[in-house]
Amino acid sequence: MSKKKPPKSSTTKEFLKSAIVVIGASILVRSTVVQAYHVTSGSMEDTILTGDFVIADKLTYGTQVPDRLPFFETKVPSFRMPGFSDPQPGELVIIESPEDDSKDLFKRCIAVSGQTIEIRNKGIYVDGKPFENPPGVKNTDPRVLPARFIARDNYAPYKVPENHIFVVGDNRDNSYDSRYFGPISLDNIKARPRLILFSRDVIHPLWELTRSIRWGRFGFLP
């Protein structure tokens, strides 16, 4: 005795239900747990390079949920999910650009609220003490520019306000950061970079993929 096949309409409904569940779960994970980011700027060289694909966690610092609809990049009504801690000096952060909320920026937290930052001839001081640069930080321009022209190399003592952090890029002479746009609100912090999942040197064309892959860059970030 042969079994009756389920009606096509029933099969379609089950497929749609499963698809909705999968899509919903993907959006939830992307909005609240982890997200992959493609790096398109060299402002964090040599810690994070153009062409890196970075996995970042959204639980540590908290984030806006859902922030944006995946694939559509459209802002939607949201709330801020609290994190386990605030960024500390030396930690990497992904922030929403204070000038363009469609852009995400990779930076390093240098100082937190209540601390005083000062830059003297490219050297960064926090509360009067030299900031210890992690591996990967670099200066590429030997010139030291006076503060009256640009804040890059000399920055008057500044106390970071409450619920804000001060961020800079590891590529110190080629980074647009708090030296120019000021401190970042904790509400603008989106995630903490954790590991490089994949890395490709973008100077090579896509059809030379095996040649362009930077195998030695896969792994956890400092």
Evaluate whether 112 touches 86 at the Cβ level (below 8 Å).
yes
- Structural domains of the chain sorted by starting position, each given as residue range(s) with its CATH number in brackets: 19-220 (2.10.109.10)
CA pair distance 178, 21, nearest whole angstrom: 41
CA pair distance 171, 169, nearest whole angstrom: 5
Please tell me the pTM assigned to this model.
Answer: 0.81
Number of H helices, E strands in the chain: 3, 16
What does the DSSP assignment read for 6-45? PPHHHHHHHHHHHHHHHHHHHHHHHHHTEEEEE----TTT
Q: Which amino acid is at 198?
A: F
pLDDT at position 1: 52
Evaluate whether 36 touches 187 at the Cβ level (below 8 Å).
no
Residue 146: closest CA among 136, 160, 156: 156
N- to C-terminal Cα separation, the chain: 65
CA pair distance 173, 149, nearest whole angstrom: 14
Provide the residue-wise pLDDT of the chain in tens; the chain has 222 residues: 555 555 555 666 554 544 444 434 344 444 457 899 999 999 999 999 999 999 999 999 988 776 665 555 556 566 788 888 999 999 999 999 999 988 999 999 999 999 999 999 999 999 999 999 999 999 999 999 999 999 999 999 999 999 999 999 999 999 999 999 999 999 999 999 999 999 999 888 778 878 899 999 999 997
pLDDT at position 73: 58
Residues 6+ apart with CB under 8 A from 53: 36, 37, 38, 39, 196, 197, 198, 199
